[in-house]
Amino acid sequence: MSVAGGAHWSSRFAFIMASVGFAVGLGNIWRFPYVTGENGGAAFVLVYLACAFGIGAPILIAEMLIGRRGQGSPPTAMVVVADESGQSRRWRVVGTLGLVAAYTIEIIYAVVVGWVLWYLFKAVTTGFVGFDGVVANAEFAAVLDSNLGMLFWTLVGLGITGLIVFAGVKNGIERAVIVMMPLMFVLLLGLATYNYFMPSGESEVHGFSAAVTWLFTPDFSKIGFDTVLAAISQAFFSLGVAMAGMMVYGAYLPKSISITRSVLIVVMVDTGVALLAGLVIFPVVFHNGLDPAVGPGLIFQTLPVGFAQMPGGYGFSVVFFLMLSMAGITSMVGLVEAVTSWMEERFNLSRHQSTVIVVGSIALFSVCSIVSYNILSQWTVAGSNFNDIMDVFSNQILLPLGGLLIAVFAGWAMKKEATHDELDSLSSGQYSIWHLLIRYVVPPALLIIFVMGIVDWS
């Protein structure tokens, strides 16, 4: 049975916008610029690009070609391709791992997207006027203490996501991403341009210049094993590998569209968006003398203070959180679509029934994530609460393990004729490079990430 009733992307543009929307998420936007600055600026960017194209792109190509070859949800696609290559049907577990990862991530991610939507509402209604460090910290603490507020905005985010997936691949996902992603790019460019022309003011620090220095001044003395490992991890997680979404999106890809060309565009756009986000976020941080090293709190505790102090801060804050909301929603769509397509196929349900079940169940489990920020924050297992456990389970175990198995399957288990047929736009030399990378470079890199994640957890 063909996944989603035989639905396919109508164009490469729609496919690329959906893939970039899935890859570009909240963590990608705030984390990549920060990691870049802390690890040598432009020197890290060069290492990251090598890892993105040498590790991230090959495995992304593998995931998409399996999806297109198998024409089914991830478990079914793995079985179809395994049968074709004379391999065990137990390879189904690789697709199942991706689905479990997508579902687990969505439970936590939906709550964070809810915060973004809530802060978009705050930006529209208050513009963060009068915010200083104390007020911003108190405001975010109040958000984490409000279970009803977090539940409401989580449901809003899931509702928007559900409506998009409910409408189907062409009428829902395509229509959403071909509007939301170009708009997000325009908003990013607009915000970065605004930062460029914003005067230094009393601080005598030109935020845009400081951000450019932070991001693009090479410091090769900071490049070491830890930096390379950080670049590998960032490339792997930034591209949304092993979360089932890319495999499902590959299943919707017509044979006439080149997987390799599309993936290279996705990697370049994903990296460009992350760097552009740095030129949006860090000029505000540096201009106002704020701390760029506060991690996730940068968005919800640090930036509102900057918005309150900068000229035009009201409009900037509204546009910023609107852009961030679209990044969060399009990532959620890919996660929900992966599980929904499997529900359709596995239980012979309609798209509408599957969407309601998947979104509804995520909403129920998201309550566990919400109360883990307050009521059950002290309920821990080995020192980790529900959110910590789900985060480690998905990001440090399921994703590296799933990616490793995808690479091994594509590089060693699949017949070369099958992979070559899916990548027929490549010359023999280009195909040989991909096959070499997916066999001998990607598996060791992902094995290192997996082992390091286990070590860190233990």
Which domain CATH number covers 258? 1.10.4160
Q: What's the confidence (pLDDT) of residue 332?
A: 97
User: Both tokens of residue 123?
Assistant: 């930006």
pTM for the predicted model, two decimal places: 0.94
Domain, as residue range, for 214? 3-457
The backbone region for 293, taken as left when phi is positive above 0, alpha when psi lies in -120 to 50, beta otherwise, is alpha
Q: Say how many domains are in the chain.
A: 1
Concatenating the DSSP letter of every residue in 260-290 gives: HHHHHHHHHHHHHHHHHHHHHHHHHHHHTT-
Report the alpha-carbon distance of residue 13 to residue 179 in Å, rounded: 12
Q: What's the confidence (pLDDT) of residue 36?
A: 87
Report the alpha-carbon distance of residue 392 to residue 389 in Å, rounded: 5
Q: Is the pLDDT of residue 398 over 60?
A: yes
Q: Identify the band that residue 1 occupies on the pLDDT scale cut at 50, 70 and 90.
A: very low
Of the given ranges (195-199, 269-273, 317-321), which has the lowest mean pLDDT?
195-199
Q: What is the CA radius of gyration of the chain?
A: 22
> 381: which strand partners?
384
H helix and E strand count, the chain: 22, 0
Mean pLDDT of the chain: 92
Write phi, then psi, for 128 (nearest 5 degrees).
60, 30
Q: Assess contact for 420 and 435: CB atoms under 8 A.
A: no
- In one-letter notation, the amino acid at residue 169 is V
Collapse the DSSP code of 384 into the 3-class scheme (helix H, G, I; strand E, B; otherwise coil) and give the result.
strand
Kindly list the distances between the CA atom of residue 155 and the CA atoms of 59, 186, 339, in Å, as whole numbers in the listed order.
33, 27, 18
pLDDT tens track for 291-302: 777 767 789 988
